Amino acid sequence: MNEIQLHAVPWQHAILDDFLTGNSLDDLLEFWNTVPKNARWESTVFRQAFDKEGNFIDLWFTQSFIKDLKDVMEPELIKRIYEEVSLKVRSVGTLLDAQLDDEDAFVIDVQYINRHTSYPFHIDASDKLLTLITFIHPDKNVGTLVGDNKDAFKTGYRETEWKPNRALVFKPDDTTWHAFKADGRNRRMTLNINIYKKINSPSGRVET
């Protein structure tokens, strides 16, 4: 595994450069050139989930901005990305003391936000065991912002410097306030991985 940078401020997180191999990164960038984009949508997430054995599963999410990744990407490429990163992601999660024994779903998202989109400081949903955000495209943009409260835009925050193929990883809790925005010039594309625990909810999961 590549060298992991551990940080404790404003909360514990890890940074891993060169997260994807060259071939997978090239294939994702080629995918970016063909993926449907809609200027009216502030954000779009293309999603595929896996069970612990690496099989495709469908998760019910209630938000309209979440789309099926298989509709826009070859299933073979989705599977290859999973096989490449799944052990690496779980290893970093263990290093961060994530309780992955409760894993229910390993979820891969390809997300883009439009150039003027900004998402406020928030903490992740309580059913997430691990969050990973990998910067993919373009070469320069605004990295994930990390702070210690919901008003961190006012009180102060740090930016995880944007670098293509750099991954930010953390175990979500009620202290892991983070935000993201584009730079006003370019759409911002990330590869996000979330590991979810089991829940009992007839109305599905809610993305936060």
Look at residue 1 and tell me if it is in a domain: no
Domain carrying residue 123:
11-33+42-197
Round to whole Å and give the CA distance between 14 and 23. 24
Q: Residue 66: pLDDT above 80?
A: yes
Closest CA to 95 of 198, 199, 3: 3
- Please compute the mean of the pLDDT values over residues 160-182 and round it to a whole number: 98
Round to whole Å and give the CA distance between 142 and 157. 13
Q: Residue 101: pLDDT above 60?
A: yes
User: Total structural domains in the chain?
Assistant: 1
Amino acid of residue 176: T
Look at residue 2 and tell me if it is in a domain: no
* Element (DSSP H or E) covering residue 205: none
Look at residue 19 and tell me if it is in a domain: yes
- We report the CATH number of the domain holding residue 24 as 2.60.120.620
What's the whole-model pTM score? 0.93
Look at residue 20 and tell me if it is in a domain: yes
What is the structure's pLDDT at 208? Answer: 52
For residue 73, the number of C-alpha atoms closer than 13 Å in the C-beta half-sphere is: 26
What is the structure's pLDDT at 59? Answer: 77
What is the structure's pLDDT at 202? Answer: 43
Q: What is the pLDDT of residues 134-162, one digit of tens each?
A: 999 999 999 999 999 999 999 999 999 99
Look at residue 204 and tell me if it is in a domain: no
